Amino acid sequence: MQRGIALVQVLLIVAVLSILALYFTQSARQQVHNATLMVDKAQAYIELKNAQANILYALLTEQKDPEQTQNSQNQTLINKWNFHGEEFSYNPQVSVAIQDLRGLLNLHYPNKQRLTQLLTYSGLNDYDAQLMSRQIIQWQQLDGRTDSLPNNITARHAAIHDIAELIHLGLAPAQLNALRANTTQYKKGAFNPMTAPNSLLNALLAKDVASHVIMLRSAKQLTVREFSQVTGFNESDDIILYPSNLFKVTLNAQVGEARIQKEIYYHLQPTGNPVVNIVAVKAQ
């Protein structure tokens, strides 16, 4: 009887010790994982900051004319980069997307026809797209009629600060995503369709024309002359076929399981003061 009780006690002690051992092992693994993640995150941050500095230096010092060939110490970067927001690999840890803001639609004072084409491409029928274009414009305008707005929506009477605000107009996720990718509130003035994202080109051009332009642009063989001939876009007061000094730079760094994303809006003034004006920063 006593031997049986002793055996049970031994088994209970062994079970408790096993549970404690498993707990300490699991805790140690978790601590090691957390420490590794912190080291990886610090390294990812360093890689991202290094890429950010080099990209900014190149934007300030290199020619951005797609037709001009050049030899540069940044030739590897120049061979990879583009200004229409298509992501490219900066190094094994960092990917970058550079968007010339001139290639996006101005959401504060949009060209109604182009905005309607974008909304149609996002899935709306022509009537709803035209109505939504009017609503976006009237909702922001300082004065004037707002006859296109529903009775339950009060005009903002000011320029929006973030595209997410348009949810108040009842936009569906598909339309919000299309506007987020192809419009900006950080620029004014002329439009450069040569640096428009692929989705915006598909919205503004016939399918075969857009495909041809995208193919040439990806191969870095697109010239201003051919772009104008194929698309019908020619330089005017509203169109400038050359990158601006306004850029959105999106950087993604990953080391191990650690990921960091940063989105910076730059206004570059090589002869101004300050030379680099950071309009906005969004980090994750």
**pLDDT tens across 172-218, in order?**
999 999 999 999 999 878 999 999 999 999 999 999 999 999 999 99
User: What pLDDT was estimated at residue 147?
Assistant: 75
What is the structure's pLDDT at 63?
Answer: 84
Q: Does an H or E element contain 94, and which? A: strand 94-100
Q: What secondary structure letter does DSSP report for 144?
A: S
- The predicted pLDDT at position 116 comes to 96
Confidence (pLDDT) at 67: 64
pLDDT at 138: 87
Q: State the CB neighbour count (10 A cutoff) for residue 201.
A: 22
CB atoms within 10 A of CB 166: 22
Distance in angstroms (rounded) separating the CA atoms of residues 222 and 117: 24
How many Å apart are CA 155 and CA 140, to the nearest integer? 7
Whose tokens are 């899935």? That residue is 123
Label residue 278 exposed, middle or buried (CB < 10 Å: 0-12, 13-18, 19+): exposed
Measured from the Cβ of residue 37, the count of other Cβ atoms closer than 10 Å reads 14
Q: Could you tell me where in the chain the CATH 3.30.1300 domains are found? A: 36-103+244-283
Name the pLDDT band for 73 (thresholds 50, 70, 90).
Answer: confident
Q: Residue 19 has what pLDDT?
A: 76
Domain range 36-103+244-283, CATH architecture: 2-Layer Sandwich (3.30)
Judge whether 72 and 221 are in contact, CB under 8 Å: no
Bigger pLDDT: 280 vs 242: 242
- Taken in order 226, 201, 68, 191, the sign of the CA dihedral is positive
Q: Output the pLDDT for position 3.
A: 61
Instruction: Please give the pLDDT value at position 69.
Output: 59
d(CA 206, CA 196) in angstroms, rounded, equals 15
Q: Can you give the pLDDT at residue 68?
A: 61
Nearest Cα to 194, choosing from 217, 219, 178?
217
Q: What angle do CA 16, 22, 23 make, to 5 degrees?
A: 90
- Are the beta carbons of 130 and 120 closer than 8 angstroms? no
Please check the confidence at residue 81 and state whether its pLDDT lies above 80: yes
pLDDT (0 to 100) of residue 1: 62
Percent of the chain with pLDDT over 70: 89
Q: Are 196 and 104 in contact (CB under 8 A)?
A: yes
Averaged over 35-58, what is the pLDDT? 91
Residue 191's identity, in one-letter code, is: F
Given a contact cutoff of 8 angstroms between Cβ atoms, the answer to whether 244 and 254 are in contact is no
